[in-house]
Structure 1
Amino acid sequence: MAERDAISPEPADDTELAIEGALRPASLEEFVGQHKVRGQLQLLLDAARIQERPADHILLAGPPGLGKTTLAMIIAHESDRPLRMSSGPAIQHAGDLAALLSSLVPGEVLFIDEIHRMARTAEEMLYLAMEDFRIDIMVGKGAGATSIPLDLAPFTLVGATTRSGMLPNPLRDRFGFTAHLEYYEPEELEQVIARSARVIGMDLAGPQRDEIARRSRGTPRIANRLLRRVRDYALVRGGGRAASLDDVRAALELYDVDAIGLDRLDRAVLDALVRRFRGGPVGLGTLAVSVGEEADTVESVVEPYLVRIGFMGRTPRGRVATPEAYEHLGVVHAAQGQTALKLDDL
């Protein structure tokens, strides 16, 4: 049978979930970017190892897709401890948290994603658990209710949040270390893409990696997702294992990712702000309704990147478009002084 220069069909059990797991680095040394955070975590874990104790509780804060879950897995791996994973929305009652905490083994790492979305009653129970490794179980109701203390195995809590400002101060103060993850530079994303390309068996030259990196919004998760779409395009329509620069651009254009990483929803929000509301100011809720999305989605997914690249500003009166937004959309605004606000005024 003649050889084919194409990506071999993946085994039936090689699902996207398995690929996602393979793309995650297994150690702090393999983890690309976040140099300061990596150094801080390494020191914290080394100190815990020398003292033969569980590491202090760790809060990982930052936008989605920067590696918070991956870092939690690395913390457990480098501590040589088991990892238990949960999420804030899944813990809606104190009893849910009590069942989770009471089943931990000594030294286990408990990862709670979106920890700011836990129920308030569960948060209050977590205070005592983090500080004294103990919880109080209420038995009975009314005047006959009694509190029974339950000792817990020492554990390390790793919390992840995209909204650190929504965490109550008593909870935030109980973390021994808070890591603030920053968006990646294109050069760092190129390293992420190069490693991921090797994992999925792609030949990707420097210009192709650079093209994907520039459209990845400073986010490794997006970079890996775009890389997989380029792989699919190369497999079906391009050169198989080796994707050309034209393949990369065509694939990303097919999936509505423009030259600076804006997708369909980003452009819809920007277009509504500029054309429908004449540059603003406009309230977040009104802007979200105009594009048929939830306000939380616009605020947490779309807005941070538009603000970061200088296309949108937040003012007390609402969201406004900047001159750069008009320029990107190719729109000439009628009232320069009214709608093209200076960044210094935002």
Structure 2
Amino acid sequence: MSEISAFVAEGEQDAEATVRPKRLAEFIAQHRVRDQLDLLLKGAMGRGTPPDHILLSGPPGLGKTTLANIVAAELGSGIRVTSGPAIERSGDLAAILTSLAVGDVLFIDEIHRIAKPAEELLYSAMEDFRVDVVVGKGPGATAIPLDVEPFTLVGATTRSGLLTGPMRDRFGFVAHLDFYSVEDLDLLLHRSARILGVPITEDGATEIAGRSRGTPRIANRLLRRVRDYAEVRGDGTVTLETAREALRVYDVDALGLDRLDRAVLTALVDSFKGGPVGLSTLAVAVGEQPDTVEEVCEPFLVRAGLLARTPRGRVATDAAWLHLGRNPPAAPAGARPTGQNPPADLFSADRRFP
């Protein structure tokens, strides 16, 4: 990576860290999860003991890492951060666990990808605050028990179904983060704009929120790109017109679809007459890997009612045809998924927890 690229990447990370809430009271949306965490943490602090281990699941960008840092801040304790793929051997995990102080928070991102030997070592650490380190090999191997200071494990996963039953059962609190409503993203964008010093109008924030796929990380990223446009080609204020023009430059349409999303839909509609078509064939048509299409594009397209998965392959719904400005072909009732019209209220307040 060049020095300029490294500088830009570091700047993006700094901006992201700046707008992240530091306390539970500052965390926008996820109302039920926030209230449950508040009870959990206050109860533990009242007893003077570390809270139960916490598992946070949900799609990327909804605030799992932010909540882990908030847990440590609310407890007034230190936090150690690692990820499942980084823990390849049980010895790696043992070294981390034995270095924790009393009441520390250990955050493991993508915990479903932790190596099996390390996962089994984690069981005794979570339950008994003890790890057994095996020294030597073969008949002469010896297990040395090591005590671990009482700690709280916060695990985050985007694929909760890949967690083993024994691992999931050892978490005392399990929470699933849902996508944000447009109203909640609007509040989040106003907060981020104040922190970044970006003048923004009500309709400008609403326009960005509606194209953010219900995801705070995307909303903050789009805000920074619109800010660039406003400062370079406008008067520095993010208005409705500025937001629309900026997002047009960055290939983000009214539903939040980017270039790859539209390429998938266009290939389905124009090249395959709406489908059904297999994932591998569709990936070749758009010049991407099948995993990229399946994990990056499809979740949002399915949630927006633009694409359907069937036993025979992927199918474009009537809403996808209309979104691309095409007339859907006539078909017998029920022969092809109709989806729904691209909804302006895809992440409406109805999805918000009370």
Scaled by the length of structure 2, what TM-score is found? 0.89
2:101 counterpart residue number: 105
Helix, strand or coil at the partner of 1:218: coil
**Alpha-carbon offset, residue 272 of structure 1:** 2.1
**Alpha-carbon offset, residue 313 of structure 1:** 1.8
- Letter of the 2:211 counterpart: R
2:322–2:328 CA contact under 8 A, matched in 1: no
**Alpha-carbon offset, residue 280 of structure 1:** 2.7
Q: Match for 2:172 among 151, 176, 182?
A: 176
1:278–1:339 CA contact under 8 A, matched in 2: no
Distance 1:305 1:111 in 2: 27
Q: Match for 1:142 among 138, 144, 153?
A: 138
- Per-residue CA shift, 1:277-322, capped at 9, x if unaligned? 3323333333333323333332332222111111112233332221
**Following superposition of structure 1 onto structure 2, how do residues 204-243 of structure 1 map, counting pairs within 5 Å?**
204-240=200-236, 242-243=237-238
- Letter of the 2:244 counterpart: R
**Alpha-carbon offset, residue 339 of structure 1:** 6.5
Deviates more, 1:163-172 or 1:287-296: 287-296
Q: Match for 2:181 among 168, 178, 185?
A: 185
1:81–1:107 CA contact under 8 A, matched in 2: yes
Q: Match for 2:246 among 228, 237, 251?
A: 251
Residues 1:90 and 2:89 are matched in the alignment: no
| Residues matched between the structures, number | 331
Q: Match for 2:61 among 61, 65, 69?
A: 65
Helix, strand or coil at the partner of 1:49: helix
Q: Match for 2:115 among 119, 140, 143?
A: 119
**Alpha-carbon offset, residue 143 of structure 1:** 2.0
Deviates more, 1:37-46 or 1:84-93: 84-93
**Following superposition of structure 1 onto structure 2, how do residues 1-346 of structure 1 map, counting pairs within 5 Å?**
15-240=11-236, 242-334=237-329, 336-337=331-332, 340-342=336-338
Helix, strand or coil at the partner of 1:193: helix
- Letter of the 1:285 counterpart: S
Q: 1:92 to 1:286 in 2, by over 3 A?
A: farther
2:133–2:145 CA contact under 8 A, matched in 1: yes
1:194–1:204 CA contact under 8 A, matched in 2: yes
Scaled by the length of structure 1, what TM-score is found? 0.91
Specify every segment of 5 or more residues in structure 1 that has no aligned partner in the other structure, as ranges: 1-11
**Alpha-carbon offset, residue 187 of structure 1:** 0.5
Q: 1:230 to 1:107 in 2, by over 3 A?
A: same
Distance 1:231 1:326 in 2: 32
1:9 counterpart residue number: none
Deviates more, 1:174-183 or 1:319-328: 319-328
Percent identity, aligned pairs only, is: 62
Distance 2:117 2:272 in 1: 42
Distance 1:115 1:288 in 2: 28
Helix, strand or coil at the partner of 1:280: coil
Distance 1:260 1:84 in 2: 38
Helix, strand or coil at the partner of 2:161: helix
**Alpha-carbon offset, residue 119 of structure 1:** 1.4
- Letter of the 1:61 counterpart: S
1:8 counterpart residue number: none
Alignment root-mean-square deviation, CA: 1.9
